[in-house]
Amino acid sequence: MNTKTPDHPFLVQGQTGPWEVVIGLEIHAQITSASKLFSEAPTDFGADPNANVSFVDAAFPGMLPVLNAHCVDQAIKTGLGLNAEINLFSVFDRKNYFYADLPLGYQISQFHHPIVGRGSLEIQLPDHAPRTIGITRIHLEQDAGKSIHDQHPQKSHIDLNRSGVGLMEIVTEPDLRSAEEAMAFMRYLRGLLRYLGTCDGNMEQGSLRADVNVSLRRPGEAFGTRAETKNVNSIRFIGQAIAYEIQRQMAILESGGTVDQETRLFDPSKGETRTMRSKEDAHDYRYFPDPDLPPLVISQDHVDRLREALPELPQEKKQRFIRDFGLSTYDADLLTMDRDVADFYENALKVMDTVNAQTGKMLANWMMGDFFAALNRDGLAIKDSPVTPQHLAKLVQLITNDVISGKIAKDVFGFMWESKHDPEEIVKEKGLAQMVDPDALKPIIQEILQANLDKVAEYQSGKEKLFGFFVGLAMKATQGKANPALLNQILKEMLKGQ
Amino acid sequence: MTKSNDLTRLSLADAKKGLQSKDFTVKELTQAHLDAMKEKKDLNAFVLETPELALEQAAASQKKYDAGTQGPLEGLPIANKDLYCTKGIRTTACSKILASFIPPYESTVSQNLLDAGVVTLGKLNMDEFAMGSANMNSYFGPVINPWTDKEGTKSYVPGGSSGGSAAAVSAHMALAATASDTGGSIRQPASFCGLVGIKPTYGLCSRYGMIAFASSLDQAGPLTRTVEDAAMMLEAMAGHDPKDATSLNIPKPQYTQNLGGSIKGKRVGLPKEYYLKEMHPDILKKWDEAKAWLLDAGAELVDVSLPHTSYALPAYYIIAPAEASSNLARYDGVRYGFRRDADSLDALYEQTRSEGFGDEVKRRILIGTYVLSAGYYDAYYRKAGRLRRLIAQDFEKVFHECDVLLSATTPTPAFAFGEKPKDPISMYMNDVLTVPANIAGLPGISVPVGLSETGLPLGLQLVGPALSEALLFDVSLVLEKASNFLSMAQEKGNKR
Amino acid sequence: MMITLDDVQKIAWLSRIRLSDEEKHAMKDNLSAILGWVEKLDQVDTTGIEPLSSMHIPEMVCRTDVCHHTPMAEVITQNAPEKELNMFTVPKVVE
């Protein structure tokens, strides 16, 4: 196996030698909560402009923030899921800057004392050893509103529906070494957040987005200057942005130039990053503790209670799947990364008569094969699948109980997908059950052999390759329903006896 | 003297008794104050008068009296400092930048008063965003102190920032008024205008809907003519508010029913650092007299020391501007208030804020921005925060040795327009004796105790430990009674 | 502490307050005087003293995660100097 660890980093070959890519992410994850971080306005996506805005969110004079306890718990749970230190004392600071969609003129965030400290997340790329990526911190902060630039040639419109929605900013160490790793990290993190129920991970709606820091260095040397690409909102775009940055920075460095420490934007239509026209570096955020909000003090008891109530997380589940259902590491990873997928798999196993390495593996293969292909083809989320876990389990059992062959099962699956019907009923209705009665098969085979006496003679004179020819004719005659093992056995006997 | 004038002479407590015993109606009481407002318009105490609303409220209050369902302050005409957001009624903080702002919500303090039954006469002038000590920084022009000297030739400042509140109550245009105190903005005008003004413990009154100047220092409080009235007002204004995370979660205080307790055996501390070189001799004299009154009432006097006192004012002038620079960032011409259009967003911000804010506000925003900026934060803001803890610790220690502190409220009586140097620091010195209580979040009250040689009111300040308001009222009552200020002032004082 | 015209310019920009040249000079003198005065604090050794920033309330009191009806968009925008389609409008912002 080709292992790549930080000691043997993934290197990019330039014209002047190898470069090591260093990537850190700052992920903004929208907290799953009914109301905003500091106000009672709802967080629903897609409301009419300024319909979900309280006077607090619009920073009216005299309005004050009051912290949402659930958002605090969500951040703690996320920290626990990332094996991180929970800081029992944390403080909200104001980050001061002027911007159109920032009504207060500051963002309430946590700068000096974040709620969550150091943690880690294990990731694994196919054919690579697992890697542990360091988490620097998680802090709570408010989202800004939205500026809309396409309504008027000279004006921007401001919608404050998102203003004040709770975010967790999850900051990684600069531990990632390739676009693939960064993308994998995002998939693992997204899966974990969805397990925890702390963020829905919906990247299209902006619930999860990342600032991507990329720099290059010669292997073994100190970190190079990094450029930060802001607000990238899909895993694919994160990959593209990193790939583009690697090429851009390498071209600069190899021609003897230096990379500017700057903020860039990703243009999805071109797959490129570009310098932000508004100058971020002119900022001086003047952080200071928000005098409207006393320090946030959490008891260890409360943290312990939240820890006890955590669901089984992907890593544990993965180990259990490997142990109990005979899955490979790769399959177990694929089935546990997303909670809905894992739940589907386990719900299916629950209704099976026998759960063992054979049935567990076969169910996994069906899910990762025809089932995922159908979901992808129709663009459906697993929750919206027309095939239920119970039905998929029955289909697998029809195979393991020799009622239908694997080949017929593919057809049955197609019918299930179209009709949402029970596979047993489909098999019964369409008469797809295998022929398992030798007395029913024998006359059909007899007829085939009679009609092909020349081939029988050839077979008997040693041309054993012709066996498949007879199997094909028998399958055709039975519309594929002949039990393959039984068919083979009877055919062999009858060919001998001719 | 007309009957109408008589009604404006009543204390809040006596007016309530009169309404209860039907000596006069709420309408008569309200109309008397509306007439006084007309008569004394030249003081510029009100920036918005709401006579129609007042008469509507008066009618509703009268019905409650008739039905016997009146609230604790039913039908009593008061007015609100223009810092309190009042639903549907223009609220400006006396700044051009909010000159057209109509809040769609009510502040908790003004709502509490409405719930207690008050009649509201209008909105009161103040220093812009409560920044000032003379009420000379208002977009609506300065307020004139109803008091003048024996000759009556000069115009005096009412103090600030609650200058409109002080002038209105002092000139009998309202029975009482709301005010706010960040560094002395209730107590200093109380002292200049011969009123009782209490800044309660930080967190006792909700800050929800009170336009912020410096969040960790701002506290609401009343200005009244008597100690009993102050107790009545504060009782109605105070109370826990879940909409303010800095609001104290304690039962609603009951000051009036226990008012007038004996102060026998109470230890009154005399902080040596509060004797300033620049102190006016008349004030020192009153301070000495007050000591005698308190001894007579059975209190003990203790010499005490608060060693970090002289650092309170400089620390304040770092902390308050820092918080203000951030609190006032929301005034950007986008969602409400004044706007000067421009062809870029930054130019719009710059022009709106340059034109919308007055000089003192701009000065404090710039200082605040400076002390928070990269490279200076530790030297200024963090340093001031450390001094703040030392000052708070001074008070903690001293309240093991005594129950309340007695000092002057201000180093001098009110000054005439044009008689104070215009440089900011000299103006800031007005707050030197009041600021420490804000820095430590402690309650402080100013009580009028006499007149200067020239005939201007003089106030003394009492500061107590957190939530000692009831004790402050009891000690204040002793001073009020012994000084006999109201009758003495009526006899000897010279009001416009 | 003497602050320079450049300092004044920098903090005026951070504060989004435009000053005329005359105002800048006046502000420079004012701010220098005030900052010089507050430097009195340097006389006190504050080693090991934690800054105090919140009064009497040692811990945050949180609210439960319950929504409350929000004002109509028309109310949120009713005080706006300029609005369109229930949104606030500003000169076009370039990112």
Residue located via tokens 């015993």: B21
Percent of chain B with pLDDT over 90: 93
Burial class, A461, CB count within 10 angstroms (exposed 0-12 / middle 13-18 / buried 19+):
exposed
Would you state the pLDDT for residue A480? 82
pLDDT digits (tens, 9 = 90+) for B216-227: 999 999 999 999
Interacting residues of B44 by C-beta distance below 8 A, sequence separation 6+: B125, B140, B141, B142, B143, B144, B164, B167
| Beta carbons of B101 and A61 less than 8 Å apart | yes
**Alpha-carbon distance A363 to nearest alpha carbon in chain C (angstroms):** 40
| Beta carbons of A35 and C70 less than 8 Å apart | no
Distance, CA of B322 to CA of B377 (rounded, Å): 10
Using an 8 Å Cβ cutoff, are B228 and B11 in contact?
yes
Of the residues C3, C5, C18, the best mutation for testing chain B's interface (the one with the most B CB atoms within 10 Å of its CB) is C18
Residues of chain A in contact with residue C58, where contact means CB-CB under 8 angstroms, are: 294-295, 297
Assign A3 a pLDDT band (cuts: 50, 70, 90).
very low
Distance, CA of A400 to CA of B264 (rounded, Å): 95
pLDDT digits (tens, 9 = 90+) for B159-201: 999 999 999 999 999 999 999 999 999 999 999 999 999 999 9
Q: Which residues pair with B491 in a beta bridge?
A: none
Among all residues of B, which ones are annotated catalytic? 81, 161, 185
Q: Which two tokens stand for residue A335?
A: 């089935």
Q: Please tell me what DSSP assigns to residue B431.
A: G
Q: Give the mean model confidence (pLDDT) for residues B296-305.
A: 98
Distance, CA of B54 to CA of B36 (rounded, Å): 14
| Beta carbons of C38 and B101 less than 8 Å apart | no
Q: Is C53 on the interface with B (CB under 8 A)?
A: yes
Q: Which helix (H) or strand (E) holds A156?
A: strand A155-159
Q: Is the pLDDT of residue A25 over 70?
A: yes
Q: Is the pLDDT of residue B372 over 90?
A: yes
Distance, CA of A276 to CA of B392 (rounded, Å): 47
For chain C, how many helices (H) and strands (E)? 3, 2
pLDDT digits (tens, 9 = 90+) for A396-443: 999 988 888 888 899 999 999 999 999 999 988 887 777 778 888 888
pLDDT digits (tens, 9 = 90+) for C26-78: 999 999 999 999 999 999 999 999 999 877 777 899 999 999 989 999 999 99
Would you state the pLDDT for residue A66? 98
Choose among A286, A294, B50: nearest CA to C62. Answer: A294
Chains B, C: CB contacts under 8 A, how many? 166
Q: Which of A158, A277, A289 lies at the smallest CB-CB distance from C87?
A: A158
pLDDT digits (tens, 9 = 90+) for A322-372: 998 889 988 999 999 999 999 999 999 998 888 888 888 999 999 999 999
Cα torsion angle, A287, A291, A293, A296, sign: positive
Q: Give the mean model confidence (pLDDT) for residues B375-388.
A: 95
Phi, psi of C90 (to 5 degrees): -140, 165
Distance, CA of A344 to CA of A204 (rounded, Å): 24
pLDDT digits (tens, 9 = 90+) for A437-494: 888 888 899 899 989 989 898 988 888 888 989 999 888 888 888 888 888 889 888 8
**Residue with more model confidence, A10 or B127:** B127
Distance, CA of B210 to CA of B180 (rounded, Å): 9
Crossing angle of helices A314-325 and A179-196, in 10° steps, is 90
Residues of chain C in contact with residue A276, where contact means CB-CB under 8 angstroms, are: 95
Q: Please tell me what DSSP assigns to residue A216.
A: E
Q: Which helix (H) or strand (E) holds A315?
A: helix A314-325
Distance, CA of B426 to CA of B45 (rounded, Å): 25
Q: Which residues pair with B79 in a beta bridge?
A: B177
**Residue with more model confidence, B427 or B77:** B77
Q: Is the pLDDT of residue C2 over 90?
A: no
Would you state the pLDDT for residue A6? 46
The stretches of B71-221 forming alpha helices (DSSP H) are 108-116, 163-170, 187-193
Single-letter residue type at B153 = T
Percent of chain A with pLDDT over 90: 72
Residues of chain A in contact with residue C92, where contact means CB-CB under 8 angstroms, are: 149, 152-156
Burial class, C47, CB count within 10 angstroms (exposed 0-12 / middle 13-18 / buried 19+):
exposed
Choose among A25, A45, A273: nearest CA to A143. Answer: A45
Residues of chain B in contact with residue A63, where contact means CB-CB under 8 angstroms, are: 208-209
Would you state the pLDDT for residue B371? 96
Q: Which two tokens stand for residue A180?
A: 């693939």
A192-214 b/e (C-beta count within 10 Å ≥ 16 → b): bbbbbebbbbebeebbbbbbbbb
Residues of chain B in contact with residue C31, where contact means CB-CB under 8 angstroms, are: 363, 366-367, 370
Q: What is the mean pLDDT of chain A?
A: 92
Q: Which two tokens stand for residue B472?
A: 């402050």
Q: Which residues pair with A131 in a beta bridge?
A: A123
Distance, CA of C38 to CA of B379 (rounded, Å): 10
**Residue A238 CB: number of other CB atoms within 10 A?**
25
Using an 8 Å Cβ cutoff, are B293 and B478 in contact?
yes
Query: Is residue B398 helix, strand or coil?
Result: helix
Query: Is residue B391 helix, strand or coil?
Result: helix
**Alpha-carbon distance B208 to nearest alpha carbon in chain C (angstroms):** 15
Assign A4 a pLDDT band (cuts: 50, 70, 90).
very low
pLDDT digits (tens, 9 = 90+) for A246-278: 999 999 999 999 999 999 999 999 999 999 866
Residues in chain B: 496
Phi, psi of A482 (to 5 degrees): -60, 135
Residues of chain A in contact with residue C54, where contact means CB-CB under 8 angstroms, are: 289, 291, 293-295
Assign A5 a pLDDT band (cuts: 50, 70, 90).
very low
3-state secondary structure A23-38: EEEEEEEECCCCECCC
Assign B1 a pLDDT band (cuts: 50, 70, 90).
very low
Q: Is the pLDDT of residue A283 over 60?
A: yes
Q: What is the ipTM of this complex?
A: 0.97
Q: What is the mean pLDDT of chain B?
A: 96
Q: Give the mean model confidence (pLDDT) for residues A216-233.
A: 94
Nearest CA in chain A to B325: A96
Assign A282 a pLDDT band (cuts: 50, 70, 90).
low
Bridge-based pairing state of the strands A227-232 and A263-267: parallel
Q: Give the mean model confidence (pLDDT) for residues C6-25.
A: 96
Would you state the pLDDT for residue A214? 97
Using an 8 Å Cβ cutoff, are B351 and B331 in contact?
no
pLDDT digits (tens, 9 = 90+) for B191-209: 999 999 999 999 999 999 9
Dihedral angle, C-alpha C41, C43, C47, C50, nearest 10 °: -20
Choose among A207, A262, A273: nearest CA to A239. Answer: A273
Interacting residues of B248 by C-beta distance below 8 A, sequence separation 6+: B201, B203, B204, B240, B467, C56, C57
Chains touching chain A at 3 or more Cβ pairs under 8 angstroms? B, C
Chains touching chain C at 3 or more Cβ pairs under 8 angstroms? A, B
Chains touching chain B at 3 or more Cβ pairs under 8 angstroms? A, C
Distance, CA of B158 to CA of B46 (rounded, Å): 13
Burial class, B29, CB count within 10 angstroms (exposed 0-12 / middle 13-18 / buried 19+):
buried
| Beta carbons of A265 and C13 less than 8 Å apart | no
Q: Which of residues 97-116 of A touch C (CB under 8 A)?
A: 98, 100
